Amino acid sequence: MFKHLREDIQTVFERDPAAKSWLEVLLCYPGVHALLGHRLNHWLYRHRCFLLARIFSQISRFFTGIEIHPGAKIGRRFFIDHGAGVIIGETTEIGDDVTLYQGVTLGGTGKEKGKRHPTIGNRVMISTGAKILGSITIEDNVKVGAGAVVLRDVPPNATVVGVPGRVVVQDGVRVKSGVDLAHNQIPDPVAKMIECLQHKVNELENRIEELEGGKDVGRHEA
């Protein structure tokens, strides 16, 4: 449970400029408390002490405001900033160097058994209020924007925003959206209609000329 405590405290100093001392981190950071509690609960869960693990996890939730199911697998240097309202489901898998902010949900989308929660890669940052739902994979080096709802796999080195979540940056390059905002290239419906009318007028003029030509021929023959 305490094997990685020094690393956990160092992680807080690296990612939260408000941290002033190791004692402050140890006493005042609910994310650290929730992570320490989860390590014990996960150990109980792996040894099939399911009820005891759930009881302890609910006690941790009461004191920290962070709900981590004992079955969730969490990597090293995991950091929850602020923490209120964070929910991590049973079959969630989280890699190393992941950061979560308040209000994040790593949840399921149905009542099916088995793997039903997301898999989070390494060096992922999930912003305030984001929801990642279902058995999907968020690859390494991904940033999820505040309030995003992610329902599909996300490739590595991407930034995801919106509802539903969409990739807006990939490998440092902005991804073009499906909406074309080049106003100078938007078709002009009025010009198109005038073009169609002009085409009809030309056809009618040609037809009139043909008819008048036929009448002139008839007069000469008469």
pTM value is 0.76
Domain range holding 216? Answer: 187-221
Same domain, 194 and 152: no
The confidence score (pLDDT) of residue 70 equals 97
**Among residues 174, 197, 213, which one ends one of the domains?**
174
| Overall number of domains in the chain | 2
The Cα–Cα gap between 167 and 158 comes to: 6
The confidence score (pLDDT) of residue 166 equals 92
The confidence score (pLDDT) of residue 2 equals 64
Same domain, 119 and 197: no
* Side-by-side strand order, sheet with 166-170: 79-80, 99-100, 125-126, 143-144, 158-161, 166-170, 173-174
Diameter over CA atoms, the chain: 118
Say if residue 164 is preceded by a cis peptide, omega within 30 of 0: yes
Angle at which helices 30-46 and 5-15 pack, to 10 degrees? 140
Is 181 contained in some domain? no
The Cα–Cα gap between 38 and 32 comes to: 10
Token code pair at residue 36: 């320490």
Give CA angle at 66 (63, 68), nearest 5°. Answer: 115
pLDDT in tens, the chain (222 residues): 566 889 999 999 999 999 999 999 999 999 999 999 999 999 999 999 999 999 999 999 999 999 999 999 999 999 999 889 999 999 999 999 999 999 999 999 877 788 999 999 999 999 999 999 999 999 999 999 999 999 999 999 999 999 889 999 888 888 776 554 444 555 566 777 788 888 888 988 888 888 877 666 555 555
Is 85 contained in some domain? yes
Is 180 contained in some domain? no
CATH number assigned to the domain comprising residue 75:
2.160.10.10
Same domain, 10 and 82: yes
Is 168 contained in some domain? yes
Mark 127-139 as b/e (b = at least 16 C-beta within 10 Å). Answer: bebbbbbbbbebb
Same domain, 103 and 204: no
Same domain, 17 and 72: yes
